[in-house]
């Protein structure tokens, strides 16, 4: 596609439910990032995938958070047993191998009620 | 060592004034320093970037100043306009090796008429 695509754009879920957020990176981009951005705050790094290397999961805030990337392309961020503090915008970005610019999607706004 | 420190957290500038945002890094292996601009409801987008072989890069009203010995770089927005009101993120990465982009915490800029 022309850009990084994230779905859904908005998600409202009840506390305790699991949610899955999807990211379609730019075709050919080998690096993929997930960030969390709370209202008016900075970018909180969650996880980084680079090609076939083991992902850098150092930013995942708890074991309720996990992510996978299938076939080196689409990525899914899963949040289990959602809590109200998980409410935020989840941003995905991708970049090409050797590239230095990260291209961001529009984000998924998650609201836990 | 992967941190990028950014200041100030927020900034109010009058129209026509100069906006200055500062960043500092620790890892001397970083060799690419981009700035991203984020408007409300959108993902961050690359604004301007510099490599450490130059001390300054200018694109229109936007200038990056880079001080390699001090491990600092800054964004100057000349003749600031209300349309420049956004959140600005500095970042750093390595073009070779471990290429994960590390972002600063962001500066919310408001340009008032």
Annotate chain B with three-state secondary structure. Answer: CCCEEEECCEEEEECCCCEEEEEEECCCCCCEEEEEEECCCCCCEEEEEECCCCCEEEECCEEEEEECCCCEEEEEECCCCHHHCEEEEEEEECCCCCCCCEECCCEEEEEEC
Cβ contacts (< 8 Å) between A105 and chain B: which residues?
43
Flag if A105 and B43 touch (Cβ within 8 Å). Answer: yes
From A103's Cα to the closest Cα of chain B, the distance in A is: 7
**Would you list which residues of chain A are within 8 Å, Cβ to Cβ, of chain B?**
4, 31, 33, 35, 40-43, 45, 48, 50, 56, 91, 93, 95, 97-102, 104-107
| pLDDT confidence band for A39 (50 / 70 / 90) | confident
Q: What is the mean pLDDT of chain A?
A: 92
Nearest to A104 among B41, B44, B100 (CB): B44
The answer to whether the beta carbons of residues B73 and B49 sit under 8 Å apart is no
- Tens-place pLDDT, residues A47-84: 999 888 899 999 999 999 999 998 879 999 999 999 99
Q: Terminus-to-terminus CA distance in chain B, angstroms?
A: 40
B26: CB partners within 8 A, 6+ apart:
B1, B2, B3, B71
**Interface membership of B60 toward A (CB under 8 Å):** no
Exposure on the CB side of residue B38, measured as CA atoms within 13 A: 27
Flag if B103 and A43 touch (Cβ within 8 Å). Answer: yes
What is d(CA A9, CA B20) in angstroms, rounded to the nearest whole number? 33
Chain length of chain A: 113
Indicate the domain borders of chain B.
4-112
Instruction: Please tell me the predicted confidence (pLDDT) of residue A107.
Output: 96
* Res. B77: pLDDT tops 60: yes
Range of the domain at A32: 5-112
* Res. B54: pLDDT tops 60: yes
**Nearest chain A alpha carbon to B88:** A42
* Res. B2: pLDDT tops 80: no
* Res. B98: pLDDT tops 70: no
Q: Average pLDDT in the A33-54 region?
A: 89
Instruction: Please tell me the predicted confidence (pLDDT) of residue A71.
Output: 82
* Res. B85: pLDDT tops 90: yes
From B107's Cα to the closest Cα of chain A, the distance in A is: 8
Q: Structural domain tally of chain A? A: 1
Q: Topology of domain B4-112, per CATH?
A: Immunoglobulin-like (2.60.40)
CATH of the domain at A58: 2.60.40.10
A vs B: CB pairs below 8 A: 56
In the block, tokens 């003749």 appear at: B79
What is d(CA B69, CA B22) in angstroms, rounded to the nearest whole number? 15
């Amino acid at each position: 596609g022309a850009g990084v695509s994230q779905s859904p754009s908005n998600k409202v879920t009840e506390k305790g439910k699991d949610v899955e957020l999807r990211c379609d990176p730019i075709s050919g981009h080998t690096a993929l990032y997930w960030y969390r951005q709370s209202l008016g705050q900075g970018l909180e790094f969650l996880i980084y995938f680079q090609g076939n290397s083991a992902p850098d999961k150092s930013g995942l805030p708890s074991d309720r958070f996990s992510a996978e990337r299938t076939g080196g392309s689409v990525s899914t961020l899963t949040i289990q047993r959602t809590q109200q503090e998980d409410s935020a915008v989840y941003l995905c970005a991708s970049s090409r191998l050797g590239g230095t610019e990260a291209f961001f999607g529009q984000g998924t706004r998650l609201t836990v009620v | 060592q992967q941190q990028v420190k950014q200041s100030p957290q927020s900034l109010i500038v009058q129209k026509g004034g100069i906006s200055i945002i500062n960043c500092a890094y620790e890892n001397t292996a970083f060799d690419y320093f981009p700035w991203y601009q984020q408007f409300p409801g959108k993902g961050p987008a690359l604004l301007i970037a510099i490599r450490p072989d130059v001390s300054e890069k200018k694109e229109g009203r936007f200038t990056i100043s880079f001080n390699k010995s001090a491990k600092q770089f800054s964004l100057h927005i000349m003749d600031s306009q209300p349309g420049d009101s956004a959140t600005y993120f500095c970042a750093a990465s390595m073009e070779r090796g471990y290429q994960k982009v590390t972002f600063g915490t962001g500066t919310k800029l408001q340009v008032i008429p």
